[in-house]
Amino acid sequence: MPRPIYATLDLSALAHNHKRVRARVDGAKIWSVVKANAYGHGLQRVAETLASLTDGFALVEFDGAAGLRAAGIKQPIMMLEGCYDNSDLQRCAELKLTPVVHSMAQVRALVASKLANPIDVAVKLNTGMNRLGFDPSELASALRLLKRNASVAGITLMTHFADADGESGIASQLTCFRKTTQGLDLPVSMANSAAILRFPESHGDWVRPGIMLYGSSPFPGATAESFGLKPVMSLHSKLIATRNLKPGDTVGYGCTFTAAKSMRIGVVACGYADGYPRHAPTGTPIVVNGVRTRTLGRVSMDKICVDLEPVPRAEAGAPVLLWGTDGKMVLSADEVAAAAGTISYELFCALAKRVPIEEIGG
Ligand SMILES: *Cc1c(COP(=O)(O)O)cnc(C)c1O
């Protein structure tokens, strides 16, 4: 029998979450963000599910973009980091991709490229994230060069928020963006999931949701459920053994958990080599037989131990939900991620190749 671990991907939940975005953005168009293999959910299946719903796709991998075109995706495809070299510019022309242009070097390469077909571009303004993008003082000269060049068709203006999910919010970046782009009659794109949910004034012409499509909350304090989002990825396994501990017995590598009293524990076939976070400490929530309990001790490569006190009748073979939903219970990836000191984005992207995937609700 195969090892009992598997992930389910609920494609009807993905379509549902896209509808939740649509319902919030008051007519703005939607670039569905599918970088990193659609946040670990599988680029092709996600694109296929969203093809009839969304207005565009956004990612950073050129091979992924070529795969989308080969699969018949007709919508605009934005390359969020732009072109890495000149051959990428040619691919943009061949595949009708919309690269982000974020530096003068990229402007010069594009202007010199003499592309067979002019391409749409998204000109990125740095308003405070300080990773990619033109500083406000550079924008006018970049636009001047792009606007009169035959390789350039449409221009969209974009920026990215550093703390849409946090305390500082977007106010200073939004002010900077508005001030710098005032009077330029071009479509704009600013909002990631957090800004979509929290700052309607940032929606503009195109929004760029990622994590909310996959059913997670971009905020530490608010659940995905409270926004009407449904988990797409669920990670399931089973108990493969149970054991009784005496007071003083320890569990797992490093002996980080010590039983204070007699207790019964279970061993789950899931470890960090499956993508479960190794930093999840004792007490991380986990569901056994439909009942919430907690992990015990360190996560190993292939196994993790759980407390069976709330589920005294659980035996080897009992179903285990690591995150997502079993159809009745929801254990959000956000909650597991928070216990492990990370975010659900990282859990999803880390789902290992050795975990078989079952599509449901397609
Ligand atoms: C990843 C990304 C997004 C999506 O962010 P979420 O927080 O997942 O919604 C939007 N815009 C850019 C530029 C990105 O890199």
Q: Provide CB contacts within 8 A for 105, sequence distance 6+.
A: none
Distance 220 CA to ligand 1 centre (A): 17
**Is 124 near ligand 1, meaning CB less than 6 Å away?**
no
For a mutational test of ligand 1's pocket, the pick from 32, 33, 212, i.e. the residue with the most ligand atoms closer than 8 A to its C-beta, is: 33
10 Å CB burial of residue 332 (0-12, 13-18, 19+) is buried
Q: Provide CB contacts within 8 A for 200, sequence distance 6+.
A: 24, 26
pLDDT, residue 334, reads 97
Number of helices and strands in the chain (H, E): 11, 19
pTM > 0.95: yes
Distance 232 CA to ligand 1 centre (A): 18
Which atom of ligand 1 approaches the CA of 218 most closely? Answer: 7
**Is 192 near ligand 1, meaning CB less than 6 Å away?**
yes
Residue 132 near residue 124, CB atoms below 8 Å: yes
10 Å CB burial of residue 103 (0-12, 13-18, 19+) is middle
**Is 209 near ligand 1, meaning CB less than 6 Å away?**
yes
Distance 208 CA to ligand 1 centre (A): 6
pLDDT, residue 112, reads 94
Query: What average pLDDT values come out for the chain (362 residues) when binned by 10 residues?
Result: 96 98 97 98 98 98 98 98 95 97 96 93 97 97 95 97 95 97 96 97 98 96 94 98 98 97 98 98 98 98 98 98 96 97 97 97 78
**Is 193 near ligand 1, meaning CB less than 6 Å away?**
yes
Which residue blocks in the chain are alpha helix, DSSP H? Answer: 11-24, 35-39, 43-50, 62-70, 86-95, 104-112, 136-147, 171-181, 193-198, 333-339, 344-350
Q: How far apart are CA 273 and CA 202, in angstroms?
A: 39
**Is 80 near ligand 1, meaning CB less than 6 Å away?**
yes
Which atom of ligand 1 approaches the CA of 158 most closely? Answer: 13
Which atom of ligand 1 approaches the CA of 196 most closely? Answer: 9
For a mutational test of ligand 1's pocket, the pick from 35, 159, 177, 192, i.e. the residue with the most ligand atoms closer than 8 A to its C-beta, is: 192
Residue 34 near residue 64, CB atoms below 8 Å: yes
Show which residues are catalytic. 35, 253
Distance 168 CA to ligand 1 centre (A): 18
For atom 8 of ligand 1, the residue with the nearest CA is 210
pLDDT, residue 66, reads 98
**Is 159 near ligand 1, meaning CB less than 6 Å away?**
no
